[in-house]
């Protein structure tokens, strides 16, 4: 019996070691992925300007051009620099609905038509909310920036977004 107990303890210790190593590997891979995500986003930045009555305001934006990119958006991020944003290209004008599920950063959502004319703005959206945020009519794109940006820069409907996606 002591031999069986000893063998059982060795097997249990081996299994515990394997589980601990697998967990450690998962944690390291997750940290590596989280640390590499901003670097990937950095490479994809494109210039965008917002023309307002107070002047031209320059941003660097990530552009979401396909369904998978648009579905993920800024989810799971905890920080967005003040001069950055995310531009969603919906490729046609139609009513657009957004939400803040899994989004930790409060945002201003700026809805624009095919020419880049701002149609409506949803200010100070609620993080982690599943409340639907409608465009209020047909829109072609949505620009997300940090909450308070529209107010601070005086951005309003009728102002223009300048980016190659707009005609």
**Considering the entire predicted model, what is its pTM?**
0.75
Q: What is the pLDDT of residues 13-61, one digit of tens each?
A: 444 444 444 444 444 444 333 433 444 445 589 999 999 999 999 999 9
Q: Please compute the mean of the pLDDT values over residues 114-136 and round it to a whole number.
A: 98
At 79, is the pLDDT very low, low, confident or very high (cuts 50, 70, 90)? very high
| pLDDT at residue 31 in the model | 39
Can you spell out the DSSP letters for the chain? -HHHHHHHHHHHHHHHHHHHHHHHHHHHHHHHHHHHHHHHHHHT-EEEEEEETTEEEEEEEEEE-SHHHHHHTTTT-----TTEEEEEEEEEEEEEEE--TT--S-EEEEEE-TT-BEEEEE-SPPTT----EEEEEEEEEEEEEETTHHHHHT--TT-EEESTT--
Which pLDDT score is estimated for 101? Answer: 95
Residue 78 has pLDDT above 80, yes or no: yes
Q: What is the per-residue pLDDT for 42? A: 52
Q: What average pLDDT does the segment 60-69 reach?
A: 96
**pLDDT at position 141 over 70:** yes
Mean pLDDT of the chain: 83
Residue 85 predicted with pLDDT over 60:
yes
């Amino acid at each position: 019996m002591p031999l069986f107990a000893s063998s059982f303890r060795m097997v249990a210790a081996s299994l515990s070691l394997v589980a601990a190593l697998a967990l450690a590997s998962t944690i390291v891979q997750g940290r590596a992925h989280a640390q590499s995500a901003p670097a990937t986003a950095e490479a994809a930045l494109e210039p965008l300007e917002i023309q307002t009555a107070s002047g031209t305001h320059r941003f660097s934006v990530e552009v979401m051009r396909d369904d998978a990119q648009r579905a993920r958006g800024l989810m799971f991020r905890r920080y967005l620099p003040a001069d950055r944003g995310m531009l969603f290209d919906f490729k046609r004008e139609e009513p657009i609905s957004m939400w803040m599920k899994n989004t930790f950063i409060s945002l201003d959502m700026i809805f624009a038509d095919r020419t880049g004319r701002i149609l409506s703005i949803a200010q100070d959206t609620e993080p982690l909310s599943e409340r639907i945020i409608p465009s209020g009519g047909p829109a072609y794109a949505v620009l997300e920036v940090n909450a308070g940006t529209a107010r601070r820069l005086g951005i309003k409907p009728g102002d223009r977004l300048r980016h190659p996606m707009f005609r």
